[in-house]
Structure 1
């Protein structure tokens, strides 16, 4: 049986990397409609790059001697059609080439020119604004199908793109977009859920899914606000606390010092333009403790560096650096240091101005946090089922680049200071949400 020889794919001979990279950088600032808004996921692959790479990997190079004639024929027809009908959809970088083709279709008889036209098409298709344009979708899917069948695929079938480490789902999503089938898998259950939502639920349920998510998300929010109100009491001016910012503490090991060091990598609370807010350290030499002030409209010159660098702690009083190893030992002895952590600041939502800001923590906030911890203990004791209200599994005792908890004495998954997870679990258990 003769072995079929395959032509080089476009990605093996050329790729407009500079233009694709520009689209990928721009994509970072896009929120509406982007899959990155589903859930935070590290190392997300830009959709622009994935879309371009998949097209260039599936389509053969028309200038290769082994490229099927049928692919050349269809590619030539499609690029000619774009030159005649879709110049308005092309970028400035691509338009001059296609204008020339519209004046002389014979240019595409030059296979290098045909290759360049396909690469221009791929570069423009990488643009987020073109990702749902029907003309781009139709052309890319037709070329994908023709390439697949011309290279030995069963007529009517589609090429299969397999991503065994799918993560946030960029590669399988773009494979579907350009007309391929996709198989995605991942060990992380969060990644699996993300891929099921992007690849299965959204195509199947569409707007109905979005409506249900909004409906039940709003319901949970309203119920949570009622039940958790005692842990987020309104400030005298009507603003509502929405987050409590804590810092673990250690003791300075400098000679004759022993001051309390709040472990903070940065003193910035927010760095957005006029809303920039930071903390200023205030030294209490009598108690050897650090107090804080909030600096609004702060600049880089107003803000000192934090008290933590590469795991070591720098004392704000004497300047002594307690080594990372000593920091780990102190936190191990404190079982992670969560119980002795200091409440530093509160993030709050001001209904009058419609903006969010910060204020320093008060004794009332500390009492609220203590009450939340006590409430959680009571609820845990009252729980009769085998499942815990909050994660309490043992942590892998072998530290590594991801799991650093054992280095600091945290042998169990720490229970939340506030019973929020307990509430959400109960809310979901008590309701049947169906689409």
Structure 2
């Protein structure tokens, strides 16, 4: 229900009150829930309308930011945190309900976890008795979850909060919220009511959340779902369309969802009827095609043979189906036979196709041939550095290769559905090479397309948009000679997509049609295990395939193309505009943005793949947006142009929010230089940082291996107070150190308090480190002049390569100050103060590993903070979610020389000593060597003893712990002059 204004509230009573997120934020729990949501893949709420937009921030994170920005702190930080966690469904009661919704425990498991004196009261056989209520079940679930130690262990058993019935999940929460905020007159029974009442107290009315880089729509969607008014804008019309879809399709009420589902069914019936009428998907027996497998074919310059280009000849791994090339000497080409049920040896051999490592590789009569694909294309480089090749550039009216083209396209396999099972729940399918009748149906499709292409393009049913060269868009041009977007589609793709679009006249169906472009093109690959399509934008790039999948019209017409979930939006006032961020026209109390930055995906290029389908005759309200390439206006890249674009955007947002408004900026940092850039941007925009939090948002995937997995930094900002304020480095540095210490000590005190009651701290080391950055930024961004230079001028002037500015120095000082306060448990502060950066890094991470920390971004963050040049030299594993240090036994001699960071250090010498002890050397001999090698041995002996004692407690290797104990005792009890 919609919130109603309550007369007991005092408008603007919280006008000058800080926001809870400025001091308290359950970052660890938000991190876990955000990763769980991202790990749900297509089960995420918004992906069904466009999984091709990969940059959406988790909805649970957005909800936490909105609530944290509206809720006020009280004098009891622990109680504030408890209420916040209840509203996020992170508390123990919510976890019990979420676990019950997931049916997390069987009757057997519950009886294993907790003593149940009368199990017959609850269970009948292996299941629940029918008369057992949810309250009864909850009682057992509460007890069972209490046996798990960590939040992660408990939450991993649960459904995500948004997947659980909201009325039931939050039933116990609202009375507690109302009691906690009784002094403010809060009387809420739903999120829309709470949001409106907090908005009245802060701003005098329901709050509006704005996002001028709305992207895939997660920020406006989640803000609207909990009852905020919403303003969303983006330069990219695809982003606006996805945001509209999130709010109007995913967020539709039950009646509207039913209408949308009916519209989808009617569209499928209409398209199916046309496809059947064309007679292009059924064979003579009435069997229907499900999928078509195509490949390129080219003529080898060495032999003159036409060779199919296939990366992997396996068609179905589980069914042992492969493609076999049989030489046709008469025609100097290969016949492709599809064979089912082959041996494991043949299946293994089929992994090697005719395209290997960028080369065309094949064999005739026992002789092998290999030709680089670059050679086939005729790639060349001119003296001026430009490149080109011999590929013919396709023309606007082309939709298939011409006979003289270097690369031809060939259908080599069809997946068929047996006639009797076409409408069955369990279908029978098989694979076969195309017959002459199948090839005749291919020619029939080509005839239809040839006859209609020009008209389709004029009517906007098929793209006629040229591919504009760019970082991503150069690939189709360079690799295939394609010059227009429709060249990325087979004739079957074009016929199906034109048929869909002809019937998809409403905005929701137009959005569905646009999404189909992601599943019907030459960029779609074949998953040989699951026997399904891998969508075109899986890799967020426009690289081309040598072989690909074309789904039949049957698949579209008999699939749930947009899954509609119960995620109703409660916002009353929603505005969506396609415009640059600096041209905002709408005011908002809270701006939450996930802006582009130096390492962002080039959405302004790759989404032209979709824009091409929508640019002619889009339905209302999409017709209000500019459907064309607007690359020149996009904020992209790095350097001065990037900073100026960002300043203009954030200055415009600052001018469109009240003095007590709040901004949240999310960014995934990969370069410490981005920090300095952002400081300058916020300075010039008139904003001051008031808090920073670190959230682990990403999960392991094939697309994000190595060092690419990152967390998200949440920066909270307010308008900088009016007036001039000048600072100098000599005065700012002490203020930064003081603020960093105050912030971290406050957080550590809350950690200790919460740990004493609940056993788990609120903040981890990364949170505390980010708090150090935030404290520095809070001090820095309060100034209008630094060292006599206006901060706007400073922010926008070009930076010399390798230049270290005063801002860089201050930010690094903040990181070092924060790090110096994060002494690992069990290590003396005096020892910590004397360690080098690499020594601090190894011992800090060794301590973190004892808590189960395995995130690579933790290692990246601390390596930066400790100024470690190459932390990879001390890493034993650098997988994103399985990172760890090298064990003592894994260090090679080359890792511990004077040429490495660790080698010359005292810790490096101790690692050598431990290895010597493990190899059998006597303790007194090892200690004597250390004594002779270290000129300052007497001074550093206590430090060595302390580090060995730390390693004894923290090392995961039992033999290393034993060796550290022996050597530590020998050093501690060493007698001089004996």
Same fold (TM over 0.5): yes
Shift in Å, 1:266: 2.8
Alignment pair present for 1:259 and 2:305: yes
Which of 24, 33, 36 pairs up with 1:20? 33
Shift in Å, 1:401: 1.8
Alignment pair present for 1:158 and 2:207: yes
Alignment pair present for 1:417 and 2:496: no
Q: Residue 348 of structure 1 aligns to a residue in which SS?
A: strand
Shift in Å, 1:41: 1.8
Aligned mates of 2:246, 2:199 — CA distance in 1: 30
Residue 467 of structure 2: aligned partner: 395
Q: Residue 250 of structure 1 aligns to a residue in which SS?
A: strand
Shift in Å, 1:195: 2.4
Residues 66 and 223 in structure 2, CA contact (< 8 A), matched pair in contact too: no
Q: Residue 175 of structure 1 aligns to a residue in which SS?
A: helix
Residue 221 of structure 1: aligned partner: 271
Which of 279, 283, 291 pairs up with 2:323? 279
Which of 307, 310, 333 pairs up with 2:392? 333
Residue 111 of structure 1: aligned partner: none
Which of 402, 415, 418 pairs up with 1:350? 418
1:32-47 paired onto structure 2 within 5 Å: 34-43=45-54, 45=56
Change (3 A) 1:411 1:126: same
Structure 1 unpaired stretches of 5+: 104-115
* 1:239-298 deviation line (CA, Å, top 9, x unaligned): 112443222222223xx4233232223333345xx4464323334455442322324356
Shift in Å, 1:350: 1.8
Change (3 A) 1:360 1:84: closer
Q: Which structure has the larger Rg over C-alpha atoms?
A: 2
Change (3 A) 1:250 1:9: farther
Shift in Å, 1:226: 3.5
Residue 361 of structure 1: aligned partner: 434
Aligned mates of 2:85, 2:291 — CA distance in 1: 55
Residues 251 and 258 in structure 1, CA contact (< 8 A), matched pair in contact too: yes
Change (3 A) 1:41 1:77: closer
Residues 52 and 122 in structure 1, CA contact (< 8 A), matched pair in contact too: no
Change (3 A) 1:239 1:72: same
**What TM-score comes out, normalization by structure 1 length?**
0.70
Q: Residue 258 of structure 2 aligns to a residue in which SS?
A: helix
Residues 265 and 308 in structure 1, CA contact (< 8 A), matched pair in contact too: yes
Residue 55 of structure 1: aligned partner: 64
Q: How many residues align?
A: 397
Shift in Å, 1:344: 0.9
Change (3 A) 1:341 1:127: same
Residue 203 of structure 1: aligned partner: 252
Q: Residue 37 of structure 2 aligns to a residue in which SS?
A: helix
* 1:54-91 deviation line (CA, Å, top 9, x unaligned): 415642799xxx93459976765687899797674155
Residues 161 and 172 in structure 1, CA contact (< 8 A), matched pair in contact too: yes
Change (3 A) 1:54 1:247: same
Residues 13 and 61 in structure 1, CA contact (< 8 A), matched pair in contact too: no
Aligned mates of 1:252, 1:11 — CA distance in 2: 66
1:174-193 paired onto structure 2 within 5 Å: 174-193=222-241
Change (3 A) 1:242 1:87: closer
Q: Residue 319 of structure 1 aligns to a residue in which SS?
A: strand
Aligned mates of 2:259, 2:266 — CA distance in 1: 11
Which of 447, 451, 469 pairs up with 1:378? 451
Shift in Å, 1:51: 1.0
Residues 239 and 350 in structure 1, CA contact (< 8 A), matched pair in contact too: yes
Residues 209 and 230 in structure 2, CA contact (< 8 A), matched pair in contact too: yes
Change (3 A) 1:199 1:171: same
Which of 225, 242, 248 pairs up with 1:194? 242
Aligned mates of 2:341, 2:161 — CA distance in 1: 35
Change (3 A) 1:36 1:316: farther
Residue 314 of structure 2: aligned partner: 268
Residue 97 of structure 2: aligned partner: 89
Which of 152, 155, 160 pairs up with 1:127? 160
| RMSD across aligned positions (CA) | 4.9
Shift in Å, 1:166: 1.9
Residues 196 and 205 in structure 2, CA contact (< 8 A), matched pair in contact too: no
Alignment pair present for 1:231 and 2:307: no
Worse overlay, 415-424 or 369-378:
415-424
Worse overlay, 257-266 or 75-84:
75-84
Aligned mates of 2:85, 2:473 — CA distance in 1: 48
**What TM-score comes out, normalization by structure 2 length?**
0.35
Residues 19 and 68 in structure 2, CA contact (< 8 A), matched pair in contact too: no
* 1:171-224 deviation line (CA, Å, top 9, x unaligned): 433333344444434444444333222202442552333343234223323422
Residue 112 of structure 1: aligned partner: none
